[in-house]
Amino acid sequence: MTTEKFIRNNTALITLIAACLVVLISLSVRQVFGMFFMDFNTDLGITNTEFGLAIGIQMLGWGLSGPIFGAIADKYGGHKAISLAFLFYILGIYFLFAGPNTGIYFQMSLGVLIGIGCGGTAISIPMSVVGKHFPLSNRTIAMSIVTAVGSFGYFISPLFTNYSLENNGWVQTLIYFMIFLIVGLIVAFFVRSPNLSESLEKPTDQNTLSALKEAFQTKSYVLLVAGFFVCGFHITLVGTHVPKYVIDRGLDDWTAAMILSLIGLFNIFGSLLSGYLSTKMSKKIILSAIYLLRGVSICLFIFTPPSTISSIIFGASFGFLWLSTVPATSGIVAHIFGTKYLGLLYGLVFLSHQIGSFFGAYLGGLFYDLYGSYDYAWYLAIALSIFAGLIHLPIKEQPVERLQKA
C-alpha cells in the first residue's frame, strides 16, 4: 500500500495556510454579532425582530452569493472570488458604524453587504479551493484543518469582543473588525486554485449547466441539500439568540461570551475528528450522528435548570458538533461529483444551509417578540435534529456514473 504525500506542492501549502487565515478572520467577525444586540437596541432602537431579520438577511445573502463566488472561483481562481467578497464585507462593517445605520440601512449593512461578504470568505469558498489541491484520501482532513482554524476564531473572538465592548464601545469594536478584514483581503491573494499542471483531476468537457443538472438528478445530493438546511438553522439560532436567552434565564452577561467561546474551542476538536473519521468510515453515518446529538445537547440545555455548569456543558457539547458537519458534507460532494465544480456545487449546498440560517435567526426573534420566549424555536430545532439524522441515512457515497467510467 502506498501513502500519498499530504502536501503535494508549495501552492497547496500556501493555499492551505492562507485559506485558514481567511476563514479565521471572516468567522471571527461573523460569530459575535449577537453580542452587539444590546448596544444596537439602546443606541439605534433595533428590536429583536429587526435584529433577527437583519441576521436572517445576512444568512440569505451569504447563501445566495456563495454559488456565485463559487462559480467565479472555479473559473477565474479562488483569490479573485475571495478578494471581491472581502470588499463587500468591509463596506458592510464601515456603513454599520459610520453611515446611516437604522431602518432599511441597518438591514442593508448588517444584512445584505456583510452577508455577501461572508458568501465568499467564510468556509465554503476557501475550503473548496483547498479541496482542489488534495486527493480523496486526504481531502476531508485538509478541509477539516480549515474549519478547525476558523473555529479558533470562534473561541477568541467572543472574548475579545466582550472586552472591547465594555472598554471601547461598539463603534470602536467595529473599527477593529474592519482592520481585521483588510488584513484578510491581503491574505486572500494567496488562496490560489491549482493550475492545469497541479490539478488532480483529468480535464473534462462538462460545463456548468450539465454539472448542475447532474447534481440535482442525484438523490444523494438532494438529501445533502435538505440536511444542511438544518445545520444552518441550528448554528444561527444559537449564535444569534443564545446571548439574550441566557440573560433572560437570570445568568450573567459573561455567560453568553463563555458559551460562544466554548463553542469555538470545542469545535476545533470536533472538526478535526470529523475530518479524520471521514477518511475511515461512512460520512453519512457521521452526519446522522452529529445531528441527533445536537438535539440531545439542546434538550439538556433548555430542560435543565439554568446554571453556569449547564451553560459550560452546552457550549462544549454543541461546539464539538458545531461545524463538524462541514468536512463530511463537502467530502461527500467532492467524492460524488469530483472537484471541478466543487465551489459551485458545495456553494449550492451551503445556500440551503443559509436558508436554514435565515429561519433560525428570524424565527428566534419573531417567536420571542410574539410569545416572550425562545421555547418554540428550541422545540423546532429539536424536531429538525431528528429529521436531519434520518434523511442522511439513504445517501449513497459513490461517484456518479460519469466518474466511474473515467
Per-residue pLDDT of the chain (406 residues; tens, 9 = 90+): 345 677 777 888 999 999 999 999 998 998 788 889 889 988 988 888 888 888 888 888 988 898 899 889 888 889 999 999 999 999 999 999 888 888 899 999 999 999 999 999 988 889 889 988 888 778 888 888 888 888 788 788 888 998 999 999 999 999 999 999 999 999 999 998 887 665 656 666 778 888 899 989 999 999 999 999 999 999 889 988 888 899 888 888 788 888 888 888 898 899 889 888 988 889 999 999 999 999 999 999 999 998 999 999 999 999 999 888 988 898 899 888 887 788 888 888 988 988 898 898 888 888 988 988 899 999 999 999 999 999 999 999 888 877 666 5
Q: Is pTM beyond 0.85 here?
A: no
Beta carbons within 8 Å of 238's beta carbon, 6+ residues apart:
263, 318
User: What domains, with CATH codes, occur in the chain?
Assistant: 14-195+207-405 (1.20.1250.20)
The C-alpha cell that represents 245 in the structure block: 436567552
